[in-house]
C-alpha cells in the first residue's frame, strides 16, 4: 500500500464515529493508566534503585530489575496501540469490518491491560 492510499483510507476511517471515538477514548485511557502506574511505582524505585515486581501473590514470581524497566509496560502498550490504530486506519477502505474489529480488539486489550496494571500496583505496594 502506498502512502497516498493509506492517507485516503485514514481520512475515510476517521470520519467513522466508532473508529474515531474508540481510538480517542482508548488512547486517553492508556495515557491515564500509564500515568497512574508510573506515579505509584517510580517513587518506590527511586528510593532503593531497584524495583522488585511481584507478578503473582500465590507463587511468589518476582522480577528484580533497575527501576527504569518500569517504563517498558506503558511503552509496550502504547506501541501496540499505535501499530493497531495505524493498521486499522490503512485497512478501512479495503476492509471496513477488519478495521473496526482491530479497533475494538485494541479497546478490549486496553481494558485487560489496565486491569493488570491496577492489580500489579495493588500487589507491589
pLDDT digits (tens, 9 = 90+) for 24-61: 999 999 999 999 988 988 887 777 777 777 766 566 66
Q: Is residue 63 part of a domain?
A: no
Q: Is residue 58 part of a domain?
A: no
pLDDT digits (tens, 9 = 90+) for 53-102: 776 656 666 777 777 778 888 999 999 999 999 999 998 888 889 999 99
Do 89 and 16 meet the contact criterion of CB atoms below 8 Å apart? Answer: no
Q: Is residue 120 part of a domain?
A: yes
Residue 24 sits in which domain range? Answer: 3-43+70-124
pLDDT of residue 84: 94
Q: What 3 state SS string does 16-78 have?
A: CHHHHHHHHHHHHHHHHHHHHHHHHHHHHHHHHCEEEEEEECCCCEEEEEEHHHHHHHHHHHH
The tally of domains found in the chain comes to: 1
Amino acid at each position: 500500500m502506498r502512502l497516498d492510499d493509506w492517507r485516503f483510507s485514514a481520512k475515510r476511517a476517521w470520519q467513522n464515529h466508532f473508529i474515531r471515538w474508540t481510538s480517542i477514548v482508548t488512547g486517553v485511557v492508556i495515557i491515564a493508566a500509564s500515568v497512574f502506574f508510573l506515579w505509584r511505582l517510580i517513587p518506590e524505585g527511586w528510593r532503593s534503585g531497584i524495583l522488585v515486581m511481584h507478578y503473582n501473590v500465590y507463587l511468589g514470581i518476582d522480577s528484580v530489575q533497575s527501576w527504569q524497566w518500569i517504563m517498558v509496560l506503558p511503552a509496550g502498550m502504547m506501541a501496540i496501540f499505535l501499530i493497531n490504530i495505524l493498521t486499522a486506519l490503512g485497512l478501512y477502505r479495503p476492509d471496513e469490518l477488519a478495521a473496526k474489529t482491530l479497533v475494538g480488539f485494541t479497546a478490549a486489550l486496553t481494558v485487560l491491560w489496565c486491569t493488570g496494571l491496577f492489580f500489579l500496583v495493588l500487589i507491589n505496594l
